[in-house]
Amino acid sequence: MKEPFVALIGRPNTGKSTLFNKISGKKISIVEDTPGVTRDRIITDTSWQGNSFYLIDTGGIEPKSEDIILKQMKMQANLAIDMADVIVLVVDGRSGITANDREVANMIRKSGKNIIVAVNKIDSIEMEYLIYDFYDLGLGDPIGISAEHSLGFGDLLDKVVEYFPEEKKEAVSKDMTSIAVVGKPNAGKSTLINTLIGEDRVIVSDISGTTRDAIDTIFTYEGEEYTLIDTAGIRKKSKVYEDVEYYSIIRAIKAIDRCDICLLMIDAKEGVTEQDVKIAGLINASYKNVIVVINKWDLIDKETNTMKKMEEDIKKRLHFLNFAPVLFISALDNKRVTRIMPLIEEVLAESHKRISTGLLNEVMADAVMMNNPPSKGTKRLNIMYVSQVEVHPITFVIFVNDPEIATDPYTRYLTGKIREAFEFKGCPIKIIYKKREQRE
């Protein structure tokens, strides 16, 4: 089930960034009293009462402004509105309804999305009467909050999650494998999908207004049905949104959420870019199976070991995905594309592999003997027992005397030893430490 998107929208200086920081529990957005300080959308994952969702902060909207920065902020807010499942219109209770509030309300009303009006800066019960003016926006019952003092958050978030569907309606059967083709614009994602399915069903248009969400295409390979999720939909020439990079990353998040395996496409001509690293990080954080596909390999001038050198560079830049197989193709010329589906099947088979507890503990004992666990003060991490508790993603629980002594470097070391013994090609490994008393 993919996580919903919640967008905070409103005119400048209503407290959106403060609200974003309080809800997410992280001081990410810059908070100042100067209108327009948050010029870019910022996104984070958070949760309320067991309901996970993505929260999007936006710059303030001044609908009729001709200022270049403010016009760009409006476009960015429009993008957030397009992507959102729920929109929270943040208004300033102390200022009352302004003309800009009405303009923004009219703009988001046209979206047809679920909308909640959050009247901010209601810092005490005595100020609650200020809420009633905002019924005039015609967007339902306003909710009074104080972002600065964390008041009214429960009521607001309870209302937000009411709009989340109990089960995200997916056109894809739960038993059908979903393959997300992700990467920056122009990496050849749609070309690859068209080549795989053998027909031009995924069209990428340069016409303004092409703002489709991820496109699902069902196809059959050796008697099995698969769903390909294409995240292209918009190119750099489009004038709808200037921030194409951020748009493609939001799309990647949505696709990664609901897929079984990712094909991370990289343009061979450009190599690994900053945006590729960002998308790879999303895949890693989501514990998704992954194959790195280097496209447009036919356009590269090759010398001895060119492929080997590029693969080494990719593994270096994307070190956190060093378990992912790398495949060099030319989607346009259908070169090596036939290797993709067998590799996908191989990785998916690996993702369902289970290791016996006895064999696993033998490997762990050897790893501990070769490299002593870390210590904290006079206390050393004592690894007592390890068990595989889940597949897809591969998950191991390690029982120790004190989980707080475990370090990231040692976790990476243990993960490497598990891979040496059992490979898990293309599959992420999740390690969870749990406390267990010696006497047990």
At residue 402, the pLDDT reads 94
- 342 and 363 in a common domain: no
Per-residue pLDDT reduced to its tens digit, 62-79: 555 555 444 555 666 677
- 384 and 275 in a common domain: no
Q: Tell me the pLDDT band of 39, cut-offs 50, 70 and 90.
A: very low
Q: Is residue 171 part of a domain?
A: no
DSSP class of residue 61? P
Q: Quickly list DSSP for 174-213.
A: TTSEEEEEE-STTSSHHHHHHHHHTS-------STT----
Q: Which of 64-78, 217-231, 413-427 is most confident? A: 413-427
- 285 and 137 in a common domain: no
Q: Which residue would you say has higher pLDDT here, 65 or 19?
A: 19
- 261 and 244 in a common domain: yes
Q: Is residue 168 part of a domain?
A: no
- Find the domain containing 325 and state its range: 177-351
Q: What is the number of other CB atoms lying within 10 angstroms of the CB of residue 102?
A: 15
* 341: CATH: 3.40.50.300
pLDDT at 435 over 90: yes
- 236 and 116 in a common domain: no
At residue 13, the pLDDT reads 85
Residue 363 structure tokens: 């490997």
Per-residue pLDDT reduced to its tens digit, 356-367: 999 999 999 999
Alpha-carbon gap, residue 279 to 76, rounded angstroms? 20
- 222 and 127 in a common domain: no
- 152 and 21 in a common domain: yes
Residue 215 structure tokens: 């496109």
Q: Which of 192-206, 214-228, 273-287, 399-413 is most confident? A: 399-413
- 199 and 327 in a common domain: yes
Alpha-carbon gap, residue 236 to 435, rounded angstroms? 51
Q: Residue 199: exposed, middle, or buried by beta-carbon count in 10 A (0-12, 13-18, 19+)? A: exposed
Alpha-carbon gap, residue 200 to 76, rounded angstroms? 31
At residue 65, the pLDDT reads 54
Alpha-carbon gap, residue 8 to 276, rounded angstroms? 27
Q: Tell me the pLDDT band of 395, cut-offs 50, 70 and 90.
A: very high
- The per-residue pLDDT of the chain, averaged, comes to 82
Grouping H, G, I as helix, E, B as strand and the rest as coil, residue 348 is: helix
- 158 and 24 in a common domain: yes
- 405 and 331 in a common domain: no
Last residue in a domain, options 335, 351, 367: 351
- 206 and 132 in a common domain: no
Last residue in a domain, options 320, 351, 382: 351
Per-residue pLDDT reduced to its tens digit, 129-173: 999 999 999 999 999 999 988 899 899 999 999 998 765 434 334
Per-residue pLDDT reduced to its tens digit, 342-361: 999 999 999 999 999 999 99
Number of domains, the chain: 3
Per-residue pLDDT reduced to its tens digit, 113-140: 899 999 999 999 899 999 999 999 999 9
Q: Which residue would you say has higher pLDDT here, 41 or 201?
A: 201
pLDDT at 28 over 50: no
- 283 and 259 in a common domain: yes
